[in-house]
Amino acid sequence: MPRRRVARPTAAPLRQSPDARERKADGDWFVRPMRGSSTKDYRCPGCSQLIRRGLPHVVAWPVEKALLSEAAIDERRHWHTTCWARKH
Per-residue pLDDT of the chain (88 residues; tens, 9 = 90+): 667 776 665 554 444 556 899 999 999 999 999 987 778 999 999 999 999 999 999 999 999 887 777 877 788 999 999 999 999 8
β-pairing, 27-34 with 20-24? antiparallel
Rounded Cα distance between 13 and 9, Å, is: 12
| Residue at 46 is within a domain | yes
User: What is the Cα 48 distance to its own chain's centre?
Assistant: 19
Contact in structure between 69 and 61 (CB atoms under 8 Å): no
The confidence score (pLDDT) of residue 13 equals 47
| Residue at 72 is within a domain | yes
Rounded Cα distance between 68 and 7, Å, is: 52
Counting the structural domains of the chain, the total is 1
| Residue at 82 is within a domain | yes
| Residue at 6 is within a domain | no
- The residue range of the domain holding 58 is 20-86
| Residue at 14 is within a domain | no
Is the Cα dihedral 34, 35, 40, 43 positive or negative?
positive
The length of the chain in residues reads 88
